Amino acid sequence: MRNSALLLFVTLLLSSAQSFGQREGAQNATAVIVAPVVSGEFADQVEALGTTRANESVVITADRSEKVMAIHFDDGQAVKKGDLLLTLDKRQEEAQLRASQAVTDETRNSYNRAQGLSGTSALPRATLQERAAQLAQAQAVTDSLQASLTSYEITAPFDGILGLRQVSVGTLVQPGDQITTIDDLSQIKIDFDVPSVFLATLKPGLPIRGTIEAFGDRQFEGVVTTVNSRIDPITRTVIVRAIIPNPDNILKPGLLMSITLYKNPRQTLLVPEEALIKRADRNYVYVIEQDQGQTIARQRSIELGARKPGIIEVLSGLEEGDKVVVQGIIKLRDGMPVSIRAEQTGNESLEDLLTQKPTTGGQ
């Protein structure tokens, strides 16, 4: 009986000591903020510079040496393909066309009369053939004059925005003289050089983002459309062309753009950069684990991939859903008890995280 009572006393004593130790351990646990290991899209980045260009760009010039009779556009006007822009003096050519048409009509009438007599002996067959040839010749002259008249009316070659007008009514223009410019700004081309070491991963469809100093932090997104077929033998770079939509026509040709090209897109594990601990040539993070009812921080070696500001790619050492310590790392040692003060799941500020309700759970 005495032995049983003694055994019961010892059991109660040990139980009380264990409970006290757990309470003391919980009180001594280091408060940390954690973040989950997530699987997300990631891509390597290549930085470059390029100059914006219009999707299509043409200098509008005259094909004839003649005076300007009428101007049908304003500076900066948006036009559609085929819109009339400028008319040159064509009065002399129109008079020549009317004369040619009169000759053609008379020749046609002569041919028709000869054709009516072709079945009789009054008109030799050779005469009918001669008049047919005269009609064809007259019609060809008329068609040529009509075709030449189109060069006296200058039209827009495609939809676009006109530039500054360089002529006035009465100006004598020569072939090649600039009248204005027209640019298709519905989308912008951007050509930039990429080192040829990345050639294996360059292909149409890769996304890009660009920024321009004039527009601050605003980002312009586009896609690669072409990778040049030749490598520059001096710089060992290849020209890549991308297209950026420009529905509001805010981008203009000639702007310097800083470009980020995203290559080798993939699904991979990601953790916040602040979780990383670097010692010599090894990389570590503290992972939250449960050990005999206690929440502890376990140091774990990881293999890194690429990185971008605020995020690192993890190739091995972690699994999706693991929780890593991102705040409170300095005080930690391997296996140390911790209490989870907050969990970072996005871009929350530290102030917002500290207002979260503390938790003690691990994974």
**Burial (CB count <10 Å: 0-12, 13-18, 19+), residue 221:** exposed
- Global pTM reads 0.65
Inside any domain, residue 21: no
pLDDT in tens, 247-258: 999 999 999 999
Same domain, 288 and 312: yes
The predicted structure's pLDDT at residue 82: 93
Same domain, 207 and 234: yes
pLDDT in tens, 328-340: 888 889 989 998 8
The predicted structure's pLDDT at residue 244: 97
Inside any domain, residue 229: yes
Report the share of the chain in percent with pLDDT over 90.
Answer: 53
Domains held by the chain: number: 3
d(CA 298, CA 290): 9
Same domain, 50 and 194: yes
Inside any domain, residue 118: yes
Same domain, 338 and 276: yes
**Burial (CB count <10 Å: 0-12, 13-18, 19+), residue 346:** exposed
Same domain, 145 and 204: no
Could you give the residue ranges of the DSSP H alpha helices within the chain?
2-28, 91-116, 125-149, 350-354
Give the three-state DSSP class for 107: helix
Could you tell me the CATH number of the domain that includes residue 241? 2.40.30.170
* Of residues 242 and 130, more confidently modeled: 242
Inside any domain, residue 360: no
* Of residues 290 and 106, more confidently modeled: 290
- Per the structure, the complete domain to which residue 201 belongs is given by 45-55+184-266
* Of residues 38 and 280, more confidently modeled: 38
Average pLDDT, the chain: 84
d(CA 183, CA 54): 6
Nearest CA-CA partner of 270 in 32, 46, 43, 31? 43
Inside any domain, residue 15: no
The predicted structure's pLDDT at residue 185: 95
